[in-house]
Amino acid sequence: MLTKKCVLLFSGKGSNIKNLIDKQASLNGKLEYIAAFTNNPTAKGIDICSDNDIEVTISDQEELNSNLINFLSKYKPDLIILAGYMKILPDDIVNKYVDKIINIHPSLLPKYPGLNTYEKVLKNNDLYHGVTIHYVNTTLDGGPIILQGKFKIRKKLSIKELEDLTHKVEHKIYPIVVKWIADDLISVKDNIIQFNDKTIYSPITYLVDEMSI
13 binds ligand GAR, rule: CB under 6 A: yes
- The residues pairing with 133 across neighbouring beta strands, listed in sequence order, are 104, 147
Query: At 165, is the secondary structure helix, strand, or coil?
Result: helix
Angle CA(6)–CA(34)–CA(62) in degrees, nearest 5? 85
**Closest to 204 measured CA to CA, from 189, 190, 185:** 185
Residues paired with residue 55 on neighbouring β-strands, in sequence order: 35
The minimum distance between CB 11 and ligand GAR, in angstroms, equals: 7
* Closer of 168 and 179 to ligand GAR (Cβ): 168
Of the residues 105, 129, 134, 171, only one is catalytic, namely 105
175: contact with ligand GAR by CB under 6 A: no
d(CA 163, CA 4): 31
Active site residue 167: no
The residue number whose beta carbon is nearest to ligand GAR equals 84
83 contributes a contact to ligand GAR by CB under 6 A: yes
Site for ligand GAR in 95-124 (CB under 6 A): 104-106
Complex with ligand GAR: residue 164 or 197, whichever CB lies closer:
164
Which positions are catalytic? Answer: 105
